[in-house]
Chains A and B, each alone.
Chain A
Amino acid sequence: MHVHRFEKLWIGLSLFLIAAFIGIVLFGFTVMDLKVPGIEEGRQVDPTTVLSDEKFSKPGVRKISDDHYEVYMIAQQFIFRPGSTQPLTIPANTKITFHMTAPDVMHGFEVPGSGLNATIIPGQIATFSTRFPEAKTYGIICHQYCGAAHHNMQGEIEVVPPSEFDESNLISQ
């Protein structure tokens, strides 16, 4: 079968481009710490009873160590808990691990300007970690259509300097 030499060259360049893209993604994973949900092992829960689950019945911030806090958050029609009625307050420059689930339908968790992005699926716990580099207020948007008032589902994250972080609001187990 005859393949024109220009076409051979083109196919070679195409393969190089594909390899380069795969390389960029791997570089992001290893060097730049760009991660996606699914790396940290999540677990399954029964969505019909999750609101009385040991952790999710008291959503909020828990302390693991001085440099590591975890956030249990519920996304439900049409609020984030915590996040919507009062902001989620967390310290800057500290490892934050989110555990999120939903008791009703699928929701989305998007924090514009942070690169945080997850689908929240009833029955699954989405677990992912991040560090917010500076004290700043971020918005949370539900970006997975969840019903009639989907466009009203939003929240707020208040990232404060570690020295100003008030630990009296932490959930003690």
Chain B
Amino acid sequence: MTFVNHYPKAARIVKANFIVAFVALAIGGFFGLIQALHRTDVFRGFVSSVEYYDVLTGHGVLLALVFTTFFITGLYQWGVTRTMEREPENSTFSWAWFLMMLVGTTMTATAILGGLVPGSGMSAAVLYTFYPPLQAHPLFYIGAALLVVGSWLAGADWFWTYRKWRTDNPDARIPLQTYMVIFTWLMWYLCSLGVALEVVVLLIPWSLGIVAKIDPLLPRTLFWYFGHAVVYFWLLPAYFVWYSILPKLSGGRLFSDPLARIVFIFFLLLSTPIGYHHQYADPGISLVYKMWALIMTLVILLPSLMTAFTVISSMEHGARQRGGSGYFAWMGALPWGRPAFVGCALAGIMFAAGGFSGMVNASLNIDMLVHNTAWIPGHFHLTVGTATALTFMAITYWLLPQLTGKELKFKGLALAQPYTWFIGMTLMSNALHRQGLAGVPRRVSEPEYAGINYEVPFGTMAEMNWQVAIGGIILFVALIFFLVVVGGTFWAGTPATNVDDTIPPPLSGPEHSPEILDNLKLWMGVAVVLVLIAYTLPLAEMVMDGLFSPGAFPSPV
């Protein structure tokens, strides 16, 4: 008896979300392979250097928005149902938000893929950031809005469950997994409001031709109001896994439940009012706000460094339970033969490296050396591309038997997958970082320019290109391993006996922490105040001279 037997309705919803996520992962991952070969001039036969931008848009949207959102709604539905011990209050409502997100995704994907079909009359090569005046087909924006609004309703579904649970348990502390879901979604409501306003108020009327011109700086600023918090929207579900499941996979228990709560409070408060750090090189935003973003961004290192401590000490506890000893030798006692553990642990190691390159990006004037260079994709393929994506893939290995009642198929392939991903990403990411230091730009189909010789700090440009191309191929192979394991389990898995689905209580539980940590209204209130401090004046300046002014004409791509 496991999750699927106790909560069959929730299990179906989780599986549906995961399937959409993995289809997006498959297509987006293949696009990534095309880019790795095209950019490096190893093979430019898949698409032209113009179509490259359609592929790049598809890669960004399908992976960073679609794969993540659907996996997260699935994972969180599992966590809420499991810890609230209730099926969704109304299945029709749950399927409604899922379908809304799916319809939105289909519209957006159609607009993007239309760019690769000559004569379709449709295209959306605006990249994942869709900065106007570059203009996509209206379906692109309408679909994106539906995806975001659908995710809001998913959150409403979980709050509904939580309210019912609260009525039955008036004095209980919020269980940790539901607590993390709630704080992630409070942050998500706060930040995605920016992109929703951008898309619904500015871009949809403009793409339909209702208004002729657009002020490029305002939508860009609203995008980044959302655009940095969204990285924590990707990351917090990985933290959810690292805090609540990884200690158990290591053979132990979570070190401290209260500190996990404090970390999530930090992210709710600090994720949104720092978006300007993506606009360090922008005119029209004064240095005062750039400084504010710098300080707040570096402060947000604290909850991640605290996470590193808690996760590693939980793993050490697990290793010692398994017979490990010594200062460092305990690491050898960790379960390096279990795919779910290996994926999460390797994702954590890569996240540490990504965190350090992120500190460089955050450092205002030092960022000028790497802003918009290949360093940036080097950085975020370690964070969202590994810390998040590899954790999601790894925990899928642990969740699938609970969701399907079947044994995981092809366990050897599942174990090889995280190691393969790790090797591929090490090659690709280190080379992208170093190319960025030499000034090679990101988001360009042919980064070689006549008359420009990049001064490479060490190594050679050819060697780095080969590392990116080979790394990309290895990552794609790892992705195929993953899809084979998941597909095999879904369609050819044999019934499981004794599914491993228990999570032991933490070493230090919530009873040792002040109840104020669970005060949702208080923390949401503080978060709103911090956002108002950061954004009121700059946004007012941009809006006062007219919502669409100074306006530029659209440039369809």
What residues of chain A have their CB less than 8 Å away from a CB belonging to chain B?
1-4, 6-7, 10-11, 14-15, 17-18, 21-22, 24-25, 28-29, 34-39, 42, 44-48, 77, 103-106, 108, 110, 112-113, 115-127, 137, 139, 141-151, 154, 156
Contact between B368 and A117 (Cβ–Cβ < 8 Å)? yes
Interface string of B417-446 (1 = CB under 8 A from A): 000000000000000000000111111111
- A122's closest neighbor in chain B, by CB? B552
**What residue in chain B is nearest A27 (Cβ atoms)?**
B365
Residue contact B283 to A38, C-beta cutoff 8 Å: yes
**Are A14 and B305 neighbours in the complex by a CB distance under 8 Å?**
yes
Nearest-neighbour CB distance to chain A for B167, whole angstroms, equals 28
**Chain A interface: which of B6-14, B194-202, B293-301, B382-390?**
B293-301
Chain A, residue nearest B440 (CB): A112
Contacts of A110 in B (CB 8 A): 371-373, 439, 441
B134 contacts partner chain A, Cβ-Cβ < 8 Å: yes
Q: Are B283 and A106 in contact (CB under 8 A)?
A: no
Q: Which residue of A lies closest to B441 (CB)?
A: A143
Kindly state the separation between the CA atoms of A147 and B449 in the bound complex, as whole angstroms: 17
Least Cβ–Cβ distance between A161 and chain B, in angstroms = 21
Q: In the complex, A31 Cα to B366 Cα: how many Å?
A: 14
B53 lies within 8 A of chain A by Cβ:
yes
The answer for the CA separation of A149 and B213 in the assembled complex, in Å, is 23
Q: How far is the CA of A103 from the CA of B552 in the complex (A)?
A: 7
- Given the known inter-chain contacts A3-B259, A37-B283, please indicate yes or no for A112 contacting B438, CB distance below 8 A: yes
CB pair B282–A37 under 8 Å, yes or no, is yes
Beta-carbon contact of B368 and A48 below 8 Å: no
Instruction: Give B306's nearest chain A residue, CB to CB.
Output: A11
With an 8 A cutoff between CB atoms, is B364 at the interface? yes
Main secondary structure of the interface of B (DSSP, over half): loop
Q: How far is the CB of A153 from chain B (nearest CB, A)?
A: 9
Q: How far is the CB of B35 from chain A (nearest CB, A)?
A: 13
Instruction: Tell me the count of chain B residues lying within 8 A, CB to CB, of chain A.
Output: 77
Q: Which residue of A lies closest to B517 (CB)?
A: A1
**Complex contact A25–B364 (CB within 8 A):** yes
* Distance (whole angstroms) from the CB of B376 to the closest CB of chain A: 10
**Given the interface contacts A10-B309, A45-B550, A112-B438, does A123 sit within 8 Å of B363 by beta carbon?**
no
Binary A-proximity of B39-54 (CB < 8 A = 1, otherwise 0): 0000000000110010
Given the known inter-chain contacts A38-B283, A38-B285, A44-B550, please indicate yes or no for A7 contacting B368, CB distance below 8 A.
no
Assess whether A38 is in contact with B282, with CB atoms less than 8 Å apart: yes
| B215-223, B237-245, B395-403 - interface stretch | B215-223
Distance (whole angstroms) from the CB of B204 to the closest CB of chain A: 19
User: Which residues of chain B are near A145, meaning CB under 8 Å?
Assistant: 53, 127, 134, 443-444
Residues in B whose Cβ lies below 8 Å from that of A151 = 49, 444-447
- Cβ distance B456 to chain A, nearest Cβ, rounded Å: 11
Give 14 new A-B contacts, CB below 8 A, not counting A24-B363, A119-B279, A156-B451: A3-B256, A6-B313, A18-B299, A21-B362, A24-B366, A47-B552, A106-B133, A112-B455, A121-B220, A121-B284, A124-B283, A148-B50, A150-B445, A154-B452
Tell whether A35 pairs with B372 under 8 Å between CB atoms, given A105-B134, A118-B281, A141-B449. Answer: no
Closest to A77 in B: B555
- B555 neighbours in A (Cβ, 8 Å): 77, 104-105, 147
- Please name all residues of chain A whose beta carbon is closer than 8 Å to the beta carbon of B50 when the two chains form the complex: 148-149
Contact stretch, chosen from B156-164, B459-467, B508-516: B508-516
CA–CA, A35 and B514, complex, Å: 44
Partner of B444, one of A2, A14, A35, A143: A143
- Whether B441 lies near A47 (C-beta < 8 A) is no
Per the bound structure, the CA–CA distance linking A21 and B287 in Å amounts to: 18
Question: Which of B220, B280, B364 neighbours the largest number of chain A CB atoms within 10 Å of its CB?
Answer: B364
Smallest beta-carbon distance A9→chain B, Å: 10
Cβ-defined contact, A34 with B216, below 8 A: no
7 contacts between A and B (CB under 8 A): A7-B306, A21-B363, A46-B550, A105-B555, A112-B452, A144-B443, A145-B134
The reply to whether A143 and B280 contact each other, CB–CB distance below 8 Å, is no
- Assembly CA distance A29 to B294 (angstroms): 13
